[in-house]
Structure 1
Amino acid sequence: MIRYPDRALRTIGVTAPSSGVSEELHHLLEGATAQLEKQGFAVKTTANAWTQKEAKSSPAAIRAKELLSIWRDSKVDAIIPPWGGELLLEVLEHLDFQKFTPKWLLGYSDVSLLSLAITLNTGIATAHGTNIVDLRGSETDPTTARWVDVLSSTKGAVIKQVSSERHQKNWSHDKPAPGVFNLTEPTDWKTVSGQAERLEGRLLGGCIDVIRHLIGTPYGDVDAFRKKFISGEPVVWFLENCEMNTPDLKRSLLQMKYAGWFDNCSGIVFGRSEANDAVQGYTAEMVYQELAEQLKVPIVYDADIGHQPPQVILVNGAHAIFHVDDGKGRVVQEFR
């Protein structure tokens, strides 16, 4: 049985299990804190949220200690790291997953490795979506704004979301927008079949670049998770590619397939990506087509997931139904 947090959303904890915020960028986290406080939230940060050196916020053992400390803080209702990073994988061996109790964790990129590991090992639901520095704008687009609804929900809740109208193609830090993102491109969710698709199952996923490193470790036993927490229900995977070219993407997906991660899979939803660089004419669309044929499941791509915001908020462990038709997507998540 999946365990969902059961508390009002009042205080947000900020810790950096991957990268923290270097001094010259402190204004980003300060801005996010100010905006959240204007909305009525309290914000509590750990020391390493404000530090960054050698591709990480602090040594792995300290990151683990600060994460567990703020997780167990009874006054903190949800945890949102500043952003992702590079070396969250180092932290896992320093964590005692049995000390985690239901509390929302929200993030993406490198943070998705932690989220997936927590859900797989504890059955605690975790959320994939915006990081905290992207909540610093004076405005919030309707897609991103749903983070409040998700993190305010408990067991039994039903969350309905729709695809964005427009998305951001590239970051333009020299042209800041009131809502942080420059949403200039029309959003178009696609299907490999070219037809309307319906996908239903328990959600699992994250950034492929990092979650693939859970394969073969004690932290990535998807089969045990299925048996212990979801009684063998089918899984819908949501995946996004941060930096890989298409052969690397294909190798990673094959590794997931060989490891049994796609057993009893009822569909896959891929996020938009500014990576997916084609090699000798081998495109991401070809990768998706091959995977759909191999797994015999529907595949959706260019969805609102990942490094080209905005993002729908998807919950590891939740029951979900995706409807995709004519470029539009709808997702209904039930916390059961």
Structure 2
Amino acid sequence: MQRRHFLRLSAWATAGAAIAPLVPYRAMAIRGDRIKPARLAAGDAVGIISPATAAFLREDVEIVLEAVRALGLEPVLGEHLFDRYGYLAGQDRDRAADINRFFADPAIKALIPVQGGWGSSRVLPYLDYDLIRENPKILVGFSDITALLMGITGQTGLVTFHGPNGLSGWRSQEVDMFRRVLFNGEAVTFSNRLAGVDSDRLMQVSNRTQTITAGQARGMLVGGNLSVLSGIVGSPYMPDLTGGILFLEDVGESIYRIDRMMTQLALAGVFDNLAGFIFGQCTRCGPDADYGSLTLEEVVWDHLEPRGIPAWYGAAIGHLEPLLTLPVGLEVEIDATAATIQMTESAVT
């Protein structure tokens, strides 16, 4: 498929007009500033962005377009989608400009990234948060997109969504959850599902959960990828997590690195005023030591058990299929014994 055949944005001023000034913003408590985006409907236009790693292969973008159209939506490519600057999808200002343009365009109802990788944190200073606040839309993604979710939710109060990227698997369970949350506006209760491979066992082996501290809690759900989130701690793009429920996941990190990043969060006071905590999946996170290592369980328990807040381990959140579509910035109720996250209301209008 030729690039000229892809749908393009044709409006909203010049490239210069789309670039927000490099002005620091104050980190805000999201509790009193929540804004919900409108729900999706068949035929809605969706902006396809590359806020992080470059879209090196045209075929990957074609796969994303097929997935979006199969959802009943109409994909529109960002002007800089095929840009490249080393491993990044173009210059920081240009990647941010695509996001700003899509939020400004009334025809666009949601933004979906091609993939994660690295680079979303670099665009945060160039986003127009006043524009985003005045034009709320669905933003969904995971992994490196955690930086966008946290930054935009923290700065604007907009509910964003930790869910599939364009190149995710889009299998039936994943699509069903995406539709229930973003099309139907359901208040979903999330829990680990018994994997098909365990359906004929006497016991559950995959997707097991463990209670760290029993109890129930209510608060704003915030979180995402630990590596990315720890990288914005101390910046104005880290939301105030007071009274919040934090979830974390990661992939391909040695256990000592998980410990180091969780220690960073602890030293920064991130765990001090939480109402609850959820640790998801850490895919391919093993020991990397010559003589010995803590286990991943020991690291998580060391940091969270002394807090005495409802917390559990092993939620089906992370770099795995199916990806749940979780609202970031919405109040939820959790049960650390039943290992459930219950939305208290719809995340969309």
- TM tier relative to shorter chain: 0.7 to 0.9
Alpha-carbon RMSD across the aligned residues, in angstroms, is 2.4
Q: Which of residues 100, 121, 129 in structure 2 aligns to 1:89? A: 121
Is the Cα–Cα contact under 8 Å of residues 11 and 76 in structure 1 kept in the other structure? yes
Equivalent residue of 1:204, what SS?
A: strand
Where do 5+ consecutive residues of structure 2 fail to align?
Answer: 1-31, 198-204
- Is the alpha carbon distance of 1:84 and 1:334 closer, same or farther for their aligned partners in structure 2, counting shifts above 3 Å? same
| Aligned-residue identity in percent | 24
Q: Which residue of 1 aligns with 2:306?
A: 294
Select 2:246's aligned residue among 232, 237, 240.
237
Further displaced range: 48-57 or 96-105: 48-57
Partner of 2:147: 113
Any idea what SS the aligned residue of 1:113 has?
helix
Equivalent residue number for residue 181 of structure 2 = 150
| 1:160 alignment counterpart | 189
Q: Which amino acid is 1:274 matched to?
A: T
Quote the residue 2:108 is aligned against: 76
- Provide the C-alpha distance between the structure 1 equivalents of 2:256 and 2:183, rounded to a whole number of angstroms: 40
Classify 1:35/1:289 alpha carbon distance in 2 versus 1 (closer, same or farther; 3 Å): closer
Partner of 1:60: 92
2:49 alignment partner AA: T
State the alpha-carbon separation in 1 of the partners of residues 175 and 164 from structure 2: 7
CA distance, structure 2, for counterparts of residue 122 and residue 320 of structure 1 = 19
The aligned amino acid for 2:76 is: K
Q: Any idea what the Cα deviations from partners look like across 1:131-168, whole Å, max 9, x if unmatched? A: 11125x5xx232453112222366xx522333233299
The TM-score, its normalising length taken from structure 1, stands at: 0.81
CA contact (8 A) 1:288 1:299 kept: no
* TM alignment of 1:210-289, pairs within 5 A: 210-222=228-240, 234-278=243-287, 279=289, 280-289=292-301
Which residue does 2:10 correspond to in 1? Answer: none
Runs (4+) off by over 4 Å = none
Distance 1:204 1:153, change over 3 A: farther
Q: How many residues align?
A: 300
C-alpha distance in structure 2 between counterparts of 1:308 and 1:7, whole Å:
25
How many Å apart are 1:313 and its aligned residue?
A: 1.7
Residue matched to 2:219: 201
Taking a change above 3 Å as real, the CA distance of residues 128 and 97 of structure 1, as seen in their structure-2 partners, is: same
Amino acid at match of 1:60: D
Amino acid in the other structure paired with 1:160: T
* Equivalent of residue 206 in structure 2, options 176, 179, 186: 186
TM-score by length of 2: 0.78
Larger Rg: 2
Of 67, 72, 75, 1:43 maps to 75
Tell me, in whole angstroms, the C-alpha distance in 2 between the residues paired with 1:216 and 1:331. 28
Q: Paired residue for 1:323?
A: 335
Distance 2:102 2:270 in 1: 31
Secondary structure of the residue that 1:192 maps to in structure 2? Answer: strand
In structure 1, the residue matched to 2:3 is none
Q: Is the 8 A contact 2:332 2:344 kept in 1?
A: yes
Q: Is the 1:21–1:49 Cα contact (8 Å) retained in structure 2?
A: yes
Task: Give the direction of change, closer, same or farther, for the CA distance of 1:329–1:167 in structure 2 (3 Å limit).
Answer: farther
Is the Cα contact below 8 Å between 1:167 and 1:310 reproduced in 2?
Answer: no
Gaps of 5+ in 1: 169-184, 227-233
2:309 and 2:196 map into 1 onto residues whose CA distance is 27
Partner of 1:175: none
Measured at CA, do residues 305 and 144 of structure 1 come closer, stay the same or move farther in structure 2, by a change above 3 Å?
farther
SS of the aligned residue for 1:49 comes to coil
The 2-side partners of 1:93 and 1:167 are apart by 44
Contact 1:167 1:309 in 2 (8 A): no
